[in-house]
């Protein structure tokens, strides 16, 4: 799995298993650090924490934020986990449910940070993070979210698609995953058709990082739970309850949920969702497609969200 230079892999244990995460090597980012600081834990960093949570899709992992979080390592203890069922983290063989991720996000923050912390999160995980912040506002200082959607917002029924019905068929679902997701052609096709605004921005490294995650043992369980719609919900029921200051970025060419849904969601709680920015020429993951632009907006929001 790709790890940016100056970062190291660590892990912590949650109720669903081991969560692997990536965090800076102190010897790279602290000029006066001794050689003993090379493998310092996230808890001993002198910098405040900044957590990055990746979204869902075939082969998702913390790699999704790997072009962004190194830009903050000189100011923050950036922490980017592979969520349960993805990347190098544990892949329990189970049908994942929404509460699995809401509770794991809270457990992870309590285990590796001193709350409250700023959290940057993407797509469906951003929606889970909103639910976690509603349940445990004491854990979150501010939220910076990209394409925060529950995928069943305002009564839309993601689960009614033909593809969703297909993967609800036993045996067929594994075949669909292996043939349509866990191979280079399937990964590239998903990125081109559903995730990026421009296919020429999809480099081989991106495809290989997604493919490596998709081919981990039991990786199909989390992916199929997502595709079946088991993890979808109506975020409009939760945003009005949010009290943690929030900013939202949204790619104008996002294929799963367009920015008009994002604006409707943000309008439900203007006191808390203080900023909504529509990014031109970007799809579902501007953090991979336009990392420099995404970095600039995150840096701005870290300063102005109070």
Instruction: Extract the tokens encoding 7.
Output: 């970062």
Whole-number Å distance between alpha carbons of 107 and 111: 6
Nearest to 120 by CA among 258, 8, 267, 246: 246
Q: pLDDT band at 79, cuts 50/70/90?
A: very high
Query: Residues 186, 207: contact at Cβ < 8 Å?
Result: no
pLDDT above 90 (res 255): no
pLDDT value at residue 39: 56
Nearest to 18 by CA among 99, 90, 87: 90
pLDDT value at residue 210: 96
Report pLDDT digits (tens) over 155-198.
886 555 544 554 455 555 677 787 777 899 999 998 998 899 99
- Domain definitions of the chain by residue range: 7-304
Query: Residues 305, 142: contact at Cβ < 8 Å?
Result: yes
Instruction: Extract the tokens encoding 284.
Output: 């579902």
pLDDT value at residue 57: 86
Query: Residues 85, 221: contact at Cβ < 8 Å?
Result: yes
Q: With residue 9 as reference, give the H or E element that holds it.
A: strand 7-14
Query: Residues 76, 7: contact at Cβ < 8 Å?
Result: no
User: Was domain 7-304 assigned CATH 3.40.50.1820?
Assistant: yes
Nearest to 245 by CA among 115, 142, 114: 142
* Alpha-helix runs per DSSP H in the chain: 26-29, 98-112, 123-135, 162-166, 172-180, 184-190, 204-214, 219-228, 259-267, 286-289, 291-304
Judged by average pLDDT, the poorest of 108-112, 176-180, 221-225 is 176-180
């Amino acid at each position: 799995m790709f790890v940016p230079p100056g970062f190291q892999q660590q892990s912590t244990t949650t109720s669903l298993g081991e969560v692997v995460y990536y965090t800076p090597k102190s010897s790279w980012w602290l000029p006066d650090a001794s050689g003993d600081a090379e493998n310092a834990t996230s808890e001993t960093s002198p910098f405040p924490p900044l957590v990055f949570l990746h979204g869902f899709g075939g082969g998702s992992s913390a790699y999704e934020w790997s072009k962004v979080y190194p830009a903050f390592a000189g100011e923050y203890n950036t922490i980017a986990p592979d969520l349960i069922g993805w990347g190098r983290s544990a892949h329990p063989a189970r049908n994942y449910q929404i509460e699995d991720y809401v509770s794991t996000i809270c457990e992870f923050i309590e285990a590796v940070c001193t709350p409250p912390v700023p959290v940057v999160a993407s797509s469906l995980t951003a929606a889970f993070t909103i639910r976690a912040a509603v349940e445990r506002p004491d854990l979150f200082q501010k939220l910076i979210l990209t394409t925060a959607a529950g995928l069943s917002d305002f009564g839309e029924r993601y689960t009614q698609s033909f593809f969703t019905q297909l993967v609800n068929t036993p045996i067929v679902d594994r075949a669909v995953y292996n043939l349509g997701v866990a191979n280079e052609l399937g990964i590239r096709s998903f990125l081109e058709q559903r995730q990026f605004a421009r296919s020429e921005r999809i480099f081989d490294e991106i495809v290989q990082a997604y493919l490596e995650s998709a081919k981990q043992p039991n990786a199909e369980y989390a992916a199929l739970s997502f595709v079946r719609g088991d993890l979808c919900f109506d975020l409009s029921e939760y945003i009005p309850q949010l009290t943690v200051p929030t900013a939202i970025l949204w790619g104008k060419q996002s294929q799963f949920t367009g920015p008009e849904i994002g604006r409707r969601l943000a309008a439900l709680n203007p006191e808390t969702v203080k900023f909504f920015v529509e990014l031109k020429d970007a799809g579902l993951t501007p953090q991979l497609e336009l990392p420099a632009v995404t970095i600039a907006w995150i840096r701005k929001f870290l300063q102005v969200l109070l």
